[in-house]
């Protein structure tokens, strides 16, 4: 039996974040991508950028919900993922040159993926988490880089790669949250939702009752 859940809004256009939510049995009632300036501030660290953008997106989504009574009081989830080598923030690659530069930089090295997560509660409060994941790539050959560039998977991806796709073949080690690298840390998302009173497991399949 399906239980009517409180309204849940995913403030993101990312199909990967939507897919991750669906993976744990959550179907947002609405998708509301936010349009915010994602340019890092002067001297802003990667972790600070991920935290700030998640919060800015949450604030923008909260302001929108207050203008539409249908969504006032909904749970609103936002996130932002930042890939960095040391203090250097890698772009969301949009050109071949950007993607190649990212892959050359990541080749044979460790890097960090920071995902800022924010939840707007029905009371209008914003709760936030930050998740760090460390990844090491193998040393990439020219042929591997060229083949990956030709796949076009990198376009629009932070750091110029998508770990859930072909670039998974480049990963030597990963310490932390794999879904966070994809775009949404699931354990932390569930923790925020449950702490705010959202019944995350309400629609999970019930165990079968044996017929005697």
Give the number of C-alpha atoms closer than 13 A to the C-alpha of residue 55, restricted to the C-beta side.
12
Which residues, other chains included, contact 174 with Cβ-Cβ below 8 Å and sequence gap of 6+?
A: 133, 134, 135, 136, 163, 181
Of the residues 35, 37, 68, 80, which is catalytic?
Answer: 80
Q: Is 80 a catalytic residue?
A: yes
Query: Cα(first)–Cα(last) distance of the chain, in Å?
Result: 22
Query: Rounded to an integer, what distance in angstroms lies between the CA atom of residue 192 and that of residue 120?
Result: 10
Q: Which residues are catalytic?
A: 80
């Amino acid at each position: 039996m399906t239980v009517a859940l409180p309204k849940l809004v995913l403030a993101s256009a990312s199909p990967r974040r939507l897919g991750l939510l669906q993976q744990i049995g959550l179907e947002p009632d609405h998708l509301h991508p936010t349009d915010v300036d994602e340019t890092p501030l002067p001297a802003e660290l990667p972790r600070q950028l991920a935290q700030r953008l998640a919060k800015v997106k949450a604030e923008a989504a909260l302001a929108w919900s207050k203008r539409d009574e249908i969504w006032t009081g909904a749970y609103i989830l936002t996130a932002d993922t930042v890939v960095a080598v040391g203090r250097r923030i890698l772009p969301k690659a949009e050109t071949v040159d950007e993607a190649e530069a990212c892959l050359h930089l990541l080749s044979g090295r460790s890097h960090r993926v920071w995902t800022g997560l924010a939840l707007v509660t029905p009371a209008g409060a914003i709760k936030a988490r930050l998740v760090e994941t460390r990844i090491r790539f193998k040393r990439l050959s020219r042929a591997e880089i060229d083949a990956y560039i030709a796949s076009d998977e990198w376009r629009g991806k932070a750091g110029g790669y998508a770990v859930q796709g072909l670039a998974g073949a480049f990963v030597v080690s990963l310490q932390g949250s794999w879904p966070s690298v994809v775009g949404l840390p699931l354990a932390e998302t569930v923790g925020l939702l449950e702490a705010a009173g959202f019944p995350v497991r309400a629609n999970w399949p019930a165990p079968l009752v044996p017929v005697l």
